[in-house]
Amino acid sequence: MTASIPVTLIGGYLGAGKTTLVNSLLRNAAGRRLAVLVNDFGALPIDADLILARDANLISISGGCICCSFGSDLVAALIDIRGRDQMIDHLLIETSGVALPAAIVQSLSLVRGLVLDGVIVLADAETIAERARDRYMSDTVLAQLNAADIIILNKTDLVSRESAAETSRWLAGIVPSARIVPARNAGIPPDIIMGRNPQPRLREGRTDFHAHDTAGYETLSLEIHGVRDVDRLAGALADPGLGLLRAKGFVRGLDGTFATIHIVGRRALVEPAPSWVGDPGRLVCIGLAAEMDRAATLAAIAA
């Protein structure tokens, strides 16, 4: 394989909902061929009806997905995944409850052909504030949160609306660099978690973007005609004032060539677009319906 594989880290303290999220992503892969790395299979019980076969260190999952355990040697597992014959569209790394995402990001940099898509950290709405103050676990919990591009405040159905809102404000205060997304049962659209890699139909040259249809989220899909200062545009889309969780698309730059723009939370990346991309440029922006400012987003793109 020659193309880089985007990697999403899924972290969070014990019981936050990482297992639920990963199983949901496998069920809603929408044609993506996913690889999942976990510390051991016991830490991530893949739903039985998804499993096609088991080997010593590998689970084959319906839809062309695989799950591997890596024990204590993450770099070796990453090299193994990168060298497999199977085509992989996206790699998910589900960390242990006490792992620090920043250390895993450093490990990714040691393996060619992998590119970080985003760090997603789940937080239990019932317990996150208490755990962040605990004398024994606070350092780990706060380090996990501070590494996040997007924090999923999970299990909001188990607390009052006022409590969930208060916890969201508290998280935004201690981790101003992350976007906070409330969720029930880790119900997050896959394009929020894995926003870097376009859907398979886009890689085949189709021009339509599609976001997972989930209540509470809003999508703005646009054709972009003419040229843009793509670096400036990416920076503008990462402005928290727009309320975007993800943005991705292909835009013709000032030099006449197309660039790919990726936004996750407040982090932006610009890179050369695939060779098949042509006019018109197109862009899709995804955010929470209650927070996404469509008018400001349109103004930022026009500017």
244 strand-pairing partners: 287
> In the structure, what pLDDT confidence band is assigned to residue 1 with cuts at 50, 70 and 90?
very low
pLDDT at 81 over 60: yes
CA distance 169 to 16: 18
The secondary element (H helix, E strand) that includes residue 169 is helix 161-174
Contact 17, 155 (CB under 8 A): yes
Fold of 5-193: Rossmann fold (3.40.50)
Torsion of CA 184, 187, 193, 197, to 10 degrees: -170
pLDDT at 42 over 70: no
Contact 213, 219 (CB under 8 A): no
- Identity of residue 198: P
CATH (residue range 209-302) = 3.30.1220.10
> In the structure, what pLDDT confidence band is assigned to residue 33 with cuts at 50, 70 and 90?
confident
- Over residues 111-120, the mean pLDDT reads 88
Which of 74-88, 95-109, 212-226 ranks highest by mean pLDDT? 95-109
CA distance 12 to 122: 5
> In the structure, what pLDDT confidence band is assigned to residue 212 with cuts at 50, 70 and 90?
very low
Greater confidence, 220 or 214?
Answer: 220
- Judged by DSSP in three states, 116 sits in strand
- Over residues 108-130, the mean pLDDT reads 90
pLDDT at 163 over 90: yes
300 strand-pairing partners: none
Contact 11, 123 (CB under 8 A): no
pLDDT at 168 over 90: yes
Which stretch of 31-45, 179-193, 251-265 has the lowest confidence by average pLDDT? 31-45
CA distances from 290 to 149, 157, 159 (A): 19, 18, 19
Lookup: tokens for 105: 């990001």
pLDDT at 210 over 60: no
Write down the pLDDT at residue 211. 41
Contact 70, 76 (CB under 8 A): yes
The residue ranges of DSSP E strands in 106-156, in sequence order, are 114-124, 150-154
pLDDT at 205 over 60: no
Write down the pLDDT at residue 277. 85
How large is the C-alpha radius of gyration of the chain?
Answer: 19
pLDDT at 66 over 90: no
Contact 193, 172 (CB under 8 A): no
The percent of residues above 90 in pLDDT, for the chain, comes to 32
pLDDT at 197 over 60: no
Identify which of 16, 8, 246, 186 has the alpha carbon closest to the alpha carbon of residue 108. 8
Assess whether the region 5-193 and the region 209-302 belong to the same CATH fold: no
What are the tens digits of pLDDT across the range 240-296? 889 898 898 899 999 999 998 999 888 888 988 888 888 889 998 998 888 889 999
Contact 5, 88 (CB under 8 A): yes
- Over residues 236-240, the mean pLDDT reads 91
CA distance 32 to 240: 29
pLDDT at 303 over 60: yes
Write down the pLDDT at residue 127. 93
Q: What is the mean pLDDT of the chain?
A: 84
> In the structure, what pLDDT confidence band is assigned to residue 198 with cuts at 50, 70 and 90?
very low
Residue at token pair 């503008």: 236
Write down the pLDDT at residue 273. 84
Greater confidence, 130 or 2?
Answer: 130
> In the structure, what pLDDT confidence band is assigned to residue 181 with cuts at 50, 70 and 90?
very high
User: Residue 85 gets which letter from DSSP?
Assistant: S
Domain ranges of the chain: 5-193, 209-302
User: Residue 190 gets which letter from DSSP?
Assistant: H
The helices-and-strands tally (H runs, E runs) of the chain is 10, 14
> In the structure, what pLDDT confidence band is assigned to residue 129 with cuts at 50, 70 and 90?
very high
**Please, which contacts does 158-166 make with residues 24 or more away whose CB atoms are closer than 8 Å?**
158/125, 158/126, 159/125, 159/126, 163/125, 164/125
Contact 197, 90 (CB under 8 A): yes
